[in-house]
A and B are shown apart, each in its own frame.
Chain A
Amino acid sequence: MNTKGEGRIHGSGLEKFFWAGVDVGASTTKAVVIDLEATMRGFHVQRSGVDYAGGSAACLEKALEKAGVSLESLSCVVSTGYGRYNVPMAKRIKTEISCHMKGCYHYFPHAATIVDIGGQDCKVIRVDEKGRRVAFRMNRKCAAGTGAFLEEVALRLGLDISQLDSLARRSTRKVQIGSYCTVFTSTEILTLIRKGEKVEDIVRGLFDSVVQRILEMDPLDGTIVLTGGVVEHNPVLAEALGERLKTNVFIPPHPQLTGAFGAALYGLEEDRAG
């Protein structure tokens, strides 16, 4: 499958158009603008806040501005994410499960197991060599293994979420965090602090526990692609997962944008299909 469509599009009349994807996630809203070659021309990320409709419009506007593209030049806006039904300019709506798959397959066009770690949930999506979804699973109703879990624990440790990745890299000792309940994990951490464990080892233990939660969802085999906002800001997670699986873990460019990018690709593909 030639996802870039090279050599097929000249004269189609679509050259002057652009496509946008808007991913309204639990934590952040992402907007991406792509051209006919599926090249990302502009993007923007902002907190989702409480006004999804207004926020998604503002986010798209900023992405368009960065791309130097006018709203009128957009052929299609596709929305995704938890707030996908709150994007007024969306022509089509797709789940983030489909969009992350589409976005990842664009960069890694072969059979793969895609792991999307978002602010509120975690998904494992299996895709075949032709880019067709074979199966998917979402975490059970529990925040452990998600961005919300890391945010909660960072708060407990008095850390800024942006410090976690660099702290984990300074770890010298394995600390095990076993619970799959965020509240229980916080209690476990209190015990670790009392025992005198170093904060960097505790933080690395947190990432290892996120990896463990993912491994409990699916055996994870073949090519592993890690996507979503959490890995964008904490690439150490890919290393931790790779260490456990003894394999390379691939990350698409701007994994936080992969959902919005995949959404835009859906719009582009539809127009190409006519």
Chain B
Amino acid sequence: MGLGQSSDRREFSATKKLKQVMAQHFQELDQAVKRGSPKVAWCTSVGPAELLRAMGFLVYFPENHGAVLGASRKAMDYIPVANALGYSPDICSYLTSDVGAYLRRETPLVQTYGISGVPKPDVLVYNTNQCRDVQDWFHFYGREFKVPVIGITSPRGVEEVTEAHVKDVARQMEGLVPTLEQVSGTKLDMDRLRHVVGLSRRCSDLWKEVLETASAVPSPWTFFDHTIHMGPAVVARGTQEAVDYYEILLKELQERVKNGVAAVEEERHRLYWEGMPIWGKLRDLANLFMRLHSCIVASTYCNSWIFTDFDPDDPFHSMAKAYTNIFICHAEGWKEDYIERIVNQFQIDGILFHDAKTCPNNSNSRYSMPQRLQKRLGIPCLVIHGDLNDLRCYSEEQAVTNIEAFVEQLEEN
């Protein structure tokens, strides 16, 4: 999802194709804005992108831009700009990074993809399944661009997603259609929607499959690779390009597994990353774990773009189910069961919880889950304090000492 920072990690041949897919995504958006067609919709990253694509919109994801700002470390220039406007340092630092960049009229996308800037929206569509911040974030731009802001209010903290939840969200999704038809000037074609949902399902299945190659010992890739290669699953799901990309990546990963290629030389420990990435520190952390012969083989974050509920035969209902049945919408017990399954599947020795200061919804260490899981699973858990984008909240020394001590603990026991 980020721009990619150089490190000692083993590069993939597929990266060239990845860059093409990402460049095409942004260049098409840029062209659309210049021509005035097709229309551009901004969408939250776990929002109803399929509906937007089916109605002819090109889709832009501000959260992806937030991650790009974090990975390029530009976020630290922009967060204070938004803080000064009254957007607190305690709220989502994707939001503050993105709003700050907008206020400064800057984006690394210009240099990276040769486009004229962030593509202007014709409509903004959010889903609060991740947090309330996305709604406030989109309303900022609604006021700036004077375009409609519409969205879905999702249930949160549920033990199980029930039929009542799904029906409610599906109805809300259907309720978006009249506004979208008005903005796009085209009627919703259900066959096209089925086609797009089918492509998203295929993309999601492939994304799941590539992530599962990390269950091999040694693992062919790490969490830090996942965060880069997840780009198409986020910004291009629902397109053939994303499907094609993951078929290429899967082949390369299967080849690595077949040949016993390890992402981390002499892999000794297999870890789980819970919570957001620390985008501005991906390279440093990747190198640290490599030095410690420890491979982060799975994460909640990257798994969050696996949507096995998509069903082309029942698009609205299945989209509603897929986007509500995500990790972040569930209660603690469900989340613990989920992590237990992954720990067993991937033969994980320890869990790292990233407590991201500005992302309470994606920080699962705050209600004693590490203590409960440690007892339940019999493997150690560590909490690292940091943030997705705001490096003012991250102490490198403390994080490194904690991680090294954690690995020492694994080695001694």
Contact = CB atoms under 8 A, between A and B. Distances in A.
Interface of A: 82, 94-98, 121, 132-138, 140-141
B398 A121 contact: yes
Contacts, number: 39
B412 A96 contact: no
A98 B404 CA distance: 10
Nearest to B394: A141
B36 to A, nearest CB: 48
B401 A96 contact: yes
B383 A82 contact: no
A267 B392 CA distance: 37
Interface majority SS (helix, strand, loop, mixed), chain A: mixed
A226 B412 CA distance: 23
A98 B405 contact: yes
A95 B401 contact: yes
B398 A97 contact: no
Given A97-B408, A136-B409, A137-B383, 8 more contacts: A82-B401, A95-B401, A95-B408, A98-B409, A135-B380, A135-B381, A141-B385, A141-B393
Contacts of B385: 140-141
Contacts of B383: 137
Closest 6 pairs (CB-CB, A-B): A97-B405, A95-B405, A133-B409, A141-B395, A98-B408, A95-B404
A156 B397 CA distance: 27
Contacts of B408: 94-95, 97-98, 133
A82 B374 CA distance: 27
- Among B383, B393, B398, max chain A CB count under 10 A is at B398
A137 B404 CA distance: 13
Given A95-B404, A95-B405, A98-B408, A138 B413 contact: no
A217 to B, nearest CB: 11
B402 interface: yes
Contact of B398 (A133, A134, A141): A141
Among A95, A97, A98, A134, find the residue whose CB has the most chain B CB atoms closer than 10 A.
A95
A135 B381 CA distance: 8
Interface string B343-387: 000000000000000000000000000000010000011010100
A188 B383 CA distance: 30
Nearest to B413: A132
A138 B412 contact: no
Nearest to B393: A141
Contacts of A134: 380
A135 B405 CA distance: 10
Nearest to B403: A95
A77 B306 CA distance: 49
Contacts of B404: 95
A172 to B, nearest CB: 38
A211 B284 CA distance: 35
A95 B381 CA distance: 17
Interface string B102-124: 00000000000000000000000
Contacts of A95: 401, 404-405, 408
Contacts of B398: 121, 138, 141
A135 B350 CA distance: 11
A133 B413 CA distance: 8
Contacts of B381: 135
